[in-house]
Amino acid sequence: MPSDVHYELRGPERAPPLLLAGSLGTDMSMWDPQVDALAGRFRLLRYDLRGHGASPAPAGPYSMADLGSDLLALLDRLRIERANICGLSIGAMAAMWVAAHAPERVHRLVLCCTSARLDDEARATYRERAALVRERGLTPIADAVLSRWFTPSFAEARPQTLERMRRILIATSREGYAGCCEALAAMDLTPELGSITSPTLVIAGEDDPATPPAHGRRIAENIAGARLSLVPHAAHLANIERAELVTALLMRFVDRNETEEA
């Protein structure tokens, strides 16, 4: 059953809808670097994943179908028939699921720092992490997670950003985080990539240890007409580390639908 997720909607009412779906262990504020630019051009919708931020945390494990169904239910709730969707990490995985299973709901698709299937070692790590987090919470894994979110040079230059993201991570529901870890461990969207017909942009951080560029390249190679853009000097949360570049890539790609339809 879809979870009734917490959301924020802003921007001109008649503007084209753009939905933002975030990463594991974050909340909708991870998109703050993009909001001002995007809300001036789009009807901007962002939300907290189930078990994250202010969204409820039903008992896990979760599946990618659960997370994708949450996204579709949110569009239904707001009576948005069709939207541009941009997701990062697990948010992009949910977006891929929606684009494959409900293609009529997705106009343009942007997939940031993500994978269609994690390797066996990563899948095992997420299963172990789910058990650890249920037992001990998020604090024991915080340093390791942050080291994958940001490059060392960014961490040194922006300690306040790291501390803010650490607080958000640690405040995440144990069950919500663990359930999403189990969704990641079980996920294999590779067979469904060929069903995605929406124009697609894949963005990969060149220094992303969680979903290296090879994962993005495989996605782009298996979605007809998809493009791949590499973001230099960026780890997993590239939208924060290289905010201006990612915002520009996103706007240039999504904004084309208005230009082409004019």
**Would you say residue 1 lies in a domain?**
no
Domain that holds residue 45: 7-261
CATH code, domain carrying 143: 3.40.50.1820
Treating both helix axes as pointing N-terminal to C-terminal, what angle do 120-136 and 174-186 enclose, rounded to 10 degrees? 160
**Would you say residue 73 lies in a domain?**
yes
Tell me the pairing of strands 43-47 and 7-10: antiparallel
Report pLDDT for 85. Answer: 99
The encoded tokens of residue 217 equal: 């390249």
Report pLDDT for 247. Answer: 98
Report pLDDT for 15. Answer: 97
Q: How many domains does the chain have?
A: 1
Report pLDDT for 257. Answer: 54
Q: Is the dihedral of CA 127, 116, 94, 40 positive or negative?
A: positive
**Would you say residue 98 lies in a domain?**
yes
For the full predicted model, state whether its pTM sits above 0.75: yes
Cα distances (Å, whole numbers) of residue 74 to 63, 117, 154: 17, 25, 34
| CB contact set of 144 (below 8 Å; sequence gap of 6+) | none
**Burial zone of 121 (CB within 10 Å; 0-12 exposed, 13-18 middle, 19+ buried):** exposed
Distance CA 29, CA 108 (A): 22
Distance CA 243, CA 65 (A): 29
Report pLDDT for 259. Answer: 41
| Intervals of the chain under pLDDT 50 | 258-262
Distance CA 70, CA 86 (A): 15
Residue 98 near residue 120 (C-beta atoms within 8 A): no
Tell me the pairing of strands 200-205 and 106-112: parallel
**Would you say residue 189 lies in a domain?**
yes
| CB contact set of 224 (below 8 Å; sequence gap of 6+) | 194, 196, 197
**Would you say residue 41 lies in a domain?**
yes
**Would you say residue 226 lies in a domain?**
yes
Report pLDDT for 3. Answer: 79
**Would you say residue 2 lies in a domain?**
no
